[in-house]
Structure 1
Amino acid sequence: MTFRQFAFNNVKRSFGRYAAYFFSSAFAVTVFFMYAAFIFHPDVVNGTIRPSVRRGMVSAEVIIFLFAIFFTFYSTSSFLKMRKKDFGLLTLLGITRSQLNKLIIVENTIIAILSIITGISFGALFTKIFLMMFSVILDLESPLSYYIDWKAIVLTAFLFFVLFETITVMTLVTIRSNKIIDLLKAAKQPKKPPFYSIWLSLLALACLAAGYYLAYSSDIIKMMKRVLPILGLVIIGTYFLYTQASIGLLRFYTKQKRSYYRGTNLVTAAELTYKLKDNARILSIVTILTAVTFTSTGVLANLYFGKKAETEARFPHAIALVAKNGLGQFEEKVQIINNLLQEENIHFTNHQAQLIRVYNPYKLNDHVMQNISLISVSDYNKFADLAHQPHISLPTNTAAYMYPTPDKGYEPIKGKNIALSIKNSNKIVQLKLNKPVYQPVLNPTTHVGYILIVHDHLFNEFKNLATKDTTQYYFGVSYKDWEDKKAVVQKLDDKIQKDKIIDYNTRLESFEIMREFFSLTFFIGFFISILFFLAADSILYLKLYNDLEQDLKQYLSLAKIGLTLKEMKQIAAKQVAILFFVPFAIATVHAGFAFKMLQNMVSGSVVKISVLVIVIFLVVQLIYYFFIRSLYIKKIAKVM
């Protein structure tokens, strides 16, 4: 038998150990290859596809490869740890250090080559579907043809081969520093009795509670400052939850005599205490990876499927026309819009109103206070009808600030009172500020300042004092199925030009921009999220397989004291279920507060899509659990 044959037979005999790592690595190669095939596609290279899309795909490639570095390093280290006893026996039998290093490199090279070949093969097989999905999601006029450039194959094979080989060589250091006796005793190290601190347990709960509160109360402005503290608090809380609080919870359970001494619960709880303590770091990583998967997938899915509702909330009117002054130009453009919509047989509703530009005479250095526009409450309610928003009422001598977008957190006009005056007038009015209106009923525009809603009587007083320079005009139009009226909007774009006086915008234009961005991020993030989820489950599988030899010895001991095979299967099933679903449950809670933070930043409901995402991942987790449990129990049955 040659040295290479010996290495190949080792891989063949130990393929169960390599299975999760092999399939996860192959999937990473598959996803990377499909993205590379897109990047080198002729339509993308020649500029038929927008450059921003290609840049997004390149960014995804970088993320996938960085993740592959982490996962490969962890997996290779786990394999070497699993095989320390084998390496110790080989060293005892006379294998030299250089031969052992060569054996490890050859074995990992075999797995690397198989992963690369499998990944590229499946990538080539699914690239057609990948390109079709991409064409549909980005709504391309002509679908991308099936094409694989040789550069994609070379790039994928070269990068992943170098990655696998480099990390294998780096991890050889852990073997080189161990003596033979240490290698032989690697799996026999006695376990210390689990210890937990009540203070660290309380710290875990405090960190999680603080992180959840920050997420729950965040808006789009606060989120920018809080995202890193939230992530740090949740990671610390999760780690101490496993290392400390879980041990305390199991200790509390041992005092519940009625349940603790029922069936095999005593054995399950006793062994689980050690498993949770030993696997705390792994379970923390798995929980965070799973939570990141749930959060990213849920956020991207909500943004993608909720883009229409979000556009409608940010742009209440399908068409908006604004003029700083110049009523003649404004009415001319309004007539163009009305005539075109009538020619196209589109049933529409519209309303136009006058706005008055005012300022705060006591805050001349405040930009916001010098750029305020007033709208009467009657006109506000008419525009609210067009936008399908509720009416408001205002008492005399009060005003309410209307947010330009539905994003809470940024409130430039606040306080209890405000003073208003109009240019070239000595009139100063003191008003009490009511609660702001968070949902705008006018499309955002640079031609109109910060909008205050005031009582009709007060608005008319300022209107009588207004000049041409302090008068603004707004015209809004609404109609159904606005997203399908591309031809109409194109005709309006050709007839109405923006300038320093006239501003014109359509909901469809913003929707197209939003759809392109959300579609691309969803498409890119979806496959990366799946990769993260598979990696999390693969880490659990590796840990279970790494502990299998020691677990089998314990089950043999249990068999000697009278436990039946059925009872041992029950114990094994419970332990595997807890290791699989406790991280899943905690990750779901983490993601739930992340979804609440998202809900604070978008207009539509995120509940339905978020629940659907969790349910889909739960189904995948159940399938993976039953598969792993079956393999685990079969191993136990073989030695009984």
Structure 2
Amino acid sequence: MNFRQFAFKNVIRNKRLYAGYFFSCAFSVMIFFVYSMLAFHPDLNFSDKGSYGQGAKTSMDVSQYIIYVFTFFFILYSMSAFLKSRKKEFGIGMMLGMSELQLRRLVFLENVMIGLASTAAGIAAGLLLSKGILMLGTSLLTLEQPLAFYWPVRAALLTFAAFTLLFLFISLFTAIILRSSSLIDLLKGTAKPKPEPKASAPLAVLAAVLLAVGYAAAFIVKGVLVLFALLPVAVIVSIGTYFLFTQLSVYVIRKLKGNQELYRSRTNLVTLSDLAYRMKDNARMFFLVAMISTVSFCAIGTLVGMKSMFTGQLSEALPVMKYESYSGNGLEAEQTALIEQSLANAGIDYKPYVIHKKSSANTATNKTYKFVSVTEYNILMNDNAVVGDKDALLFYPDDMGFGGRAREQTGKIASQDGSVFAVTQSGVMPIRLQQLGYADVAVISDAAFQAMPASQEDSASFVYDVTDWRSTLAVSKELNLLLEGGEKQYEFISRAYAVHENNQSFGQILLTGLFIGAVFFVAAGSFLYFRLYADLPQDCVQYRAITKLGLTEGELSRIVSVQIGLLFFVPIVVAVVHGAVALNTLQNTFGVNLFKESALVLGAFTVIQIVYFLFIRAGYVKKLKEAVQ
């Protein structure tokens, strides 16, 4: 048996230890491959969309680099954790005569084998899941035609080349790691520290205070203040999270051990005694997992929430269909007739409104108003307002709490020709009125409106109301092509078309966020997996000794389930709480309800973590039971 065969058989015979590293690498390769498959899809060519197309292509390329770079560091960490769990094995090999050069060559060959196998497996898994990925891409990008399957040769070659280079570099880099370890260090392996874990009461209290302050600030600040509070709150919560795992958790466990009735009940003696060591030893890993998971939750939750928010805002801010005709437009009659004929040909029932607006600037107050007659206002708003010839109803856009300029509650407004109107009522502009344009609107009597002189800034809004506005997308696309290039004489606006374009833009960003978030989340899960199996040899020794004292299989399963459950769920629960607070802040900032989107994102990650926990727990308990028998 030559050296390459020895390395190959070493991998095959130690499948359990290599499995976590292999699947983590394969999943990372799969994520990169399926994203590349979408990026190179012929139906997603944005080159014909001008600056938007260039921006879309650039963002997808940058996201591809982000995924690759993070995957590099993730695999590097995974390899480091993987090697750490094998230190004792390497030490024995060196005692039996293996030279340092042979050890480095062994690790290099093993890593190259796993790297090439995981690269091939990741690409194969991506091909198997390609149909579902293309359907997901179609849904997120809100494409009218589904993305067709194609053979992603370019994506496969890029993925294979990129990850082959990555694994070769990491394989060479691991030689440096091994060379710095002495024989005694290798033989000690991953032995746990024996001293009783200590915790500082002041630092434990500080952890609780920092988290409370960070959460309180996140709930209190609103509007533009969020931008200023973002960095300080993030720093405070991060420091508080670190002390939560390194100090507060150990301090709470010590207090629980001080409760003799609880401590001596059933198997709590074993559970709590070992738990303090686990929390202290894994504190930095818990912190890392919690923060990475929080970033994943917040990134995806924010993208989903922003997409929902902008869709909702567009639906409110835009009329179903509007043709805005400016002063001097000679095509008004022809083009409004075209719109009405197109709607009729599509079988869409509509209700038309025409709102004439006269624009007037007041140089004394440096304000511009859009004046509307009360009759057309009543028709649009289905109201019966009455306005005197010298009176006005004043409406202004909502500043959404971002500190807009002060509005007139009472007083007078003046037009450019010197006419003065007393403001009898003022308030935030109703949605229907806001859809006509983002400017202050003054409603005046018909006589006053007719007497107001015309100007080059005057316009008329031809509004077409449709009950099912989403059904107007096809005709809106057709009209958008026919009515483009108005040269400031007219403007055509469609809610269905604007929402469709918004969904496509955000869909691309959301698709990118999902892939990056998936890499982050798998990285967090892999950190837990490697740490858990690094402790397996010591756990086998410990539980074998306790079993001789009468520990039953049921009690063993219960203890291990609690310990693994805490290992998996403590950082995730902290991350979910962090993410929920962050998304709530986003909700308060923009004044929209993101509960559904937040619950969907956080719930999906939690379910995935539960499934992952059940799978890992079953294998871990099985290994322990085999060891203690």
TM-score tier by shorter-chain length is: 0.7 to 0.9
Give yes or no for the alignment of 1:626 onto 2:623: no
What letter matches 1:318 in structure 2?
A: V
Give deviations 1:290-318, integer Å, cap 9, x for gaps: 22333333344445567754431232x11
Q: For residue 366 of structure 1, what is the aligned residue in structure 2? A: none
Q: 1:107 aligns with which of 103, 110, 115?
A: 110
Task: Tell me the amino acid that sits aligned with residue 486 of structure 2.
Answer: K
Q: How many Å separate the matches in 2 of 1:461 and 1:558?
A: 94
Q: CA deviation at 1:543?
A: 0.5
State the Cα distance separating 1:378 from its structure 2 match: 8.1
Asked if 1:519 is matched to 2:507, the reply is yes
Residue 442 (1) aligns with residue 434 (2): yes
Provide the rounded CA distance (Å) in 2 between the counterparts of 1:249 and 1:263. 20
Q: Provide the rounded CA distance (Å) in 1 between the counterparts of 2:386 and 2:279.
A: 59
Instruction: Using the TM superposition, give the Cα deviation of residue 11 of structure 1 relative to its aligned residue in structure 2, in angstroms.
Output: 1.9
For 1:319, the equivalent position in structure 2 comes to 321
Cα 1:483/1:46, change in 2 over 3 Å: closer
Change (3 A) 1:624 1:495: closer
**Which of the residues 76, 86, 107 maps onto 1:73?**
76
How far did 1:413 drift? Answer: 4.5
How many angstroms does 1:77 deviate by? Answer: 0.9
1:127-171 CA deviation, whole Å, 9 max, x = no partner?
344334434544556544433354333321221122122223324
Partner of 2:467: 480
CA separation in 1, counterparts of 2:414 and 2:380?
25
- The CA distance in 1 between the partners of 2:56 and 2:620, in whole Å, is 44
In 1, distance between residues paired with 2:430 and 2:261? 55
Worse overlay, 534-543 or 479-488: 479-488
SS in structure 2 at match of 1:22: helix
Find the aligned partners of 1:164 and 1:152 in 2 and give their Cα distance.
18
Any idea what the Cα deviations from partners look like across 1:88-116, whole Å, max 9, x if unmatched? 22223332221111111111111111111
**8 Å contact kept, 1:380–1:453:** no
Aligned 1:276-355 pairs, distance under 5 A: 276-302=279-305, 309-315=312-318, 317-325=319-327, 334=336, 337-338=339-340, 340-342=342-344, 344-355=346-357
Describe the SS at the equivalent of 1:178.
coil
Of stretches 506-515 and 292-301 in structure 1, the one that deviates more from structure 2 is 292-301
How far apart are the structure 2 equivalents of 1:144 and 1:424? Answer: 59
1:304–1:518 Cα contact (<8 Å) kept: yes
Q: Aligned equivalents of 2:408 and 2:254: distance in 1?
A: 53
Secondary structure in 1 aligned to 2:439? Answer: strand
The CA distance in 2 between the partners of 1:565 and 1:396, in whole Å, is 90
Tell me, what secondary structure is at the counterpart of 2:240? helix
Partners of 1:82 and 1:381 in 2: CA distance: 77
Partner of 2:520: 532
Aligned partners of 1:211 and 1:233 also within 8 Å: yes
- Deviation of 1:541 after TM superposition, in Å, equals 0.8
Please state if 1:261 is matched with 2:258. Answer: no
Distance 2:342 2:40 in 1: 44
CA deviation string 1:249-306 (max 9, x = no partner): 2233334444333211232122212211111111112122222333333344445567
Contact 1:310 1:602 in 2 (8 A): no
Greater alpha carbon shift after TM alignment, 38-47 vs 91-100: 38-47
Name 1:558's counterpart in structure 2.
Answer: 546
State the Cα deviation string for residues 511-563 of structure 1 (Å, max 9, x = none).
22112112222333333333322221111111100111222222234334443
**Are 1:347 and 1:479, in contact at CA under 8 Å, matched by a contact in 2?**
yes
Are 2:94 and 1:94 equivalent residues in the alignment?
no
Offset, 1:632: 1.5
Is 1:12 the counterpart of 2:18 in the alignment?
no
1:126 aligns with 2:118: no
Count, aligned residues: 624
Contact 1:400–1:437 (8 Å) recurs in 2: no
Does residue 422 (structure 1) correspond to residue 415 (structure 2)? The answer is: yes
CA distance in structure 2 between the aligned counterparts of 1:395 and 1:260, rounded to whole angstroms: 81
Distance 1:630 1:480 in 2: 54
Q: Structure 1 residues 353 and 146 mapped into 2: Cα distance closer, same or farther (>3 Å)? A: closer
**Residue number in structure 2 paired with 1:571:** 559
Match of 1:62 among 62, 65, 71: 65
CA deviations over 1:54-95 (Å, ceiling 9, x no partner):
444423321221121121111111012111222222223332
Are the aligned partners of 1:4 and 1:106 in contact in 2 as well (CA < 8 Å)? yes
Equivalent residue, structure 2, for 1:607: 595
Q: CA 1:43/1:271 → structure 2, altered by over 3 Å: closer, same or farther?
A: same
- Name 2:532's counterpart in structure 1: 544
Q: Is the 8 A contact 2:22 2:118 kept in 1?
A: yes
Q: Structure 2: how far apart are the matches of 1:101 and 1:391?
A: 87
Alignment equivalent of 1:586, drawn from 574, 597, 607: 574
Alpha-carbon distance between aligned partners in 1 of 2:251 and 2:412, rounded to the nearest angstrom:
60
Q: Which of 144-153 and 284-293 deviates more? A: 144-153
User: In 2 relative to 1, CA 186–137 (structure 1 residues): closer, same or farther, beyond 3 Å?
Assistant: closer
Structure 1, unaligned runs of 5 or more: 364-368
- Identify which range, 50-59 or 483-492, moves more after superposition: 50-59
- Separation in 2, partners of 1:18, 1:503: 63
Query: What whole-Å deviation, never above 9, does each CA across 1:570-604 have from its counterpart, x for those lacking one?
Result: 11110111111122222221221233234346676
Cα distance, 1:339–1:266 mapped onto 2, change above 3 Å? same
Whether contact under 8 Å (1:360, 1:421) holds in the other structure is yes
Shift of 1:462: 7.8
Deviation at 1:119? Answer: 0.9
CA distance in 2, matches of 1:391, 1:116: 71
Gaps of 5+ in 2: none
Higher deviation after alignment, 517-526 or 407-416? 407-416
Which whole-Å CA distance do the structure 1 matches of 2:572 and 2:391 have between them? 51
Q: Judge conservation of contact 2:22–2:114 (CA < 8 Å) in 1.
A: yes
CA distance in 1, matches of 2:46, 2:241: 48
CA contact (8 A) 2:81 2:530 kept: yes
Q: Which one-letter code corresponds to 1:297 in the other structure?
A: I
Structure 2 counterpart of 1:235, from 232, 238, 243: 238
In 2, distance between residues paired with 1:96 and 1:377?
94
The offset of 1:371, in angstroms, is 3.6
Matches within 5 A, 1:442-461: 442-443=434-435, 445=437, 451-453=439-441
Offset at 1:14? 2.8
The Cα of 1:486 is off from its aligned counterpart by: 3.5
Are residues 591 and 98 of structure 1, via their aligned partners in 2, closer, same or farther at CA, if it must alter by over 3 Å? Answer: same
| C-alpha distance in structure 2 between counterparts of 1:427 and 1:406, whole Å | 26
Q: Distance in 1 between matches of 2:453 and 2:57?
A: 52
- Contact kept? 1:20, 1:541, Cα under 8 Å: yes
Aligned residue for 2:491, secondary structure, equals strand
Are the counterparts in 1 of residues 37 and 152 from structure 2 also a CA contact under 8 Å? yes
Q: CA deviation at 1:226?
A: 4.8
Q: Which position in structure 2 is the counterpart of 1:370?
A: 367
* Amino acid in the other structure paired with 1:626: L
Query: Which of 144, 149, 170 is equivalent to 1:146?
Result: 149
Structure 2 residue 85 is matched with structure 1 residue 82: yes
* Alpha-carbon distance in 2 for matches of 1:481, 1:69: 49
Contact 1:599 1:606 in 2 (8 A): yes
